[in-house]
Structure 1
Amino acid sequence: MSQIKSNKKFKWALDFNQKNRTQATELPSPPGYSQSANASYTEASRDTDSNLLLIKKLWDVALGPLKQVPMNLFIMYMAGNSISIFPIMMVGMLIVRPVKALFATQSTFKMVEGTQATGQKFVYFIGNIVNILLALYKCQSMGLLPTHSSDWLAFEEPQTRVEHIGGGLSLI
């Protein structure tokens, strides 16, 4: 009885048994396949495709630092303005990563020979400079940058506030 059930074929069942190669060559072409389209794809078009892929990859690499700017802005917001270990580490990484990337620019674009990637290298450089400037702004807003003469001269008095305000009202 079990032999009868196993021999029964359903219309959704597939037969994975080995068949002759002559039967495989007699199969019709799939829908939408055209022999003329395959013949027109030559070696020259393969070269242009690889060049286009290389240029696309270079632009992806070049725009990488600019794509990090929104995430860096979010990290800056989450770090706050307090001086503690975690905000200092976050701001430190905001500075260190772009500096390392600037020093590794040649190795980043080593897949290109010659001066083909001048525009991409320039965009990569500008993106990293923008990230460094964001980190320096965060350092300045946290009070870590010496912006007054009293920050580095011992005989200068620290800057005193003339007026303190809170909530739009003068508190003098």
Structure 2
Amino acid sequence: MSKWSVDFSSLNASNSCKVDNPIGFEPSALSKFDKNERTYRQLSQANRDELQVTLKVKRAWDVAMGPAKSIPMNAIMIYMSGTSLQIFTVMVTAMLFFQPIKAIMSVQETFSRFESTGKAKTLPGADLLTPKLTFIGLHLVTILMGIYKVNAMGLLPNTASDWLAFLHPKEVLEFAA
């Protein structure tokens, strides 16, 4: 036996089982879990399907409302970046267009994990059209914020002289100090 080896055969297996429960651990929590598991197993297949559809629709709504969380942050970024033409402002504005368009293009893939299959598809409330439309609508709000930003920067062509070379540009009569 070498100088640095440890012999584990001297340890008794019965001593290792006498470890106290961690602080905050409630042994009754395990019995509650077992009771819920038994209750779920006793449910009929129709009730299980209904329960799963309800849970999937709830998760779909969570995903659908996700873009609403980024709208205030985008509004702050629009405000803080200013209206001058700089690389940061252009990047922020481009982000307001590209990310929502990419998300709208992949809406089917985003919600495919929540689609119900089989008989559960016919249950009431299994349709994901409303969460999908909400998801698309919130991304359209972000795109509208991008259009507002482009207009505030003066890049949106909104007068006839922007399109026709023979018309003189609109003269600004007053400037705010």
Asked whether the two chains share a fold, i.e. TM above 0.5, the reply is yes
Alignment partner of 1:160 is 2:171: yes
* Aligned CA-pair RMSD: 2.9
Aligned to 2:63: 61
Counterpart amino acid of residue 65 in structure 1: P
Change (3 A) 1:40 1:156: same
Alignment partner of 1:121 is 2:120: no
Q: Aligned-pair distance for 1:61?
A: 1.0
Change (3 A) 1:49 1:93: same
Aligned to 1:15: 15
Counterpart amino acid of residue 60 in structure 2: L
Aligned identity (percent) is 35
Deviations 1:34-93 (CA, angstroms, capped at 9, x unpaired): 786664333446544433331222011111112211111011112111101111111011
Change (3 A) 1:15 1:124: same
Task: Give the Cα–Cα distance (whole angstroms) in 2 for the partners of residues 144 and 134 of structure 1.
Answer: 14
How many residue pairs end up in the alignment?
144
Change (3 A) 1:36 1:82: closer
Task: Give the Cα–Cα distance (whole angstroms) in 1 for the partners of residues 35 and 138 of structure 2.
Answer: 46
Alignment partner of 1:100 is 2:102: yes
Higher helix share: 2
Q: TM-score, normalised by structure 1?
A: 0.71
Change (3 A) 1:37 1:67: closer
Aligned to 1:82: 84
Counterpart amino acid of residue 150 in structure 1: S
Q: TM-score, normalised by structure 2?
A: 0.69
Return the structure number with greater relative CO, CA threshold 8 A, min gap 6: 2
Change (3 A) 1:31 1:86: closer
Aligned to 1:24: none
Structure with bigger gyration radius: 1
Structure 1: which 5+ runs fail to align? 1-6, 8-13, 19-29, 167-172
Aligned to 1:40: 39
Deviations 1:8-34 (CA, angstroms, capped at 9, x unpaired): xxxxxx93159xxxxxxxxxxx44747
Q: Aligned-pair distance for 1:163?
A: 2.6
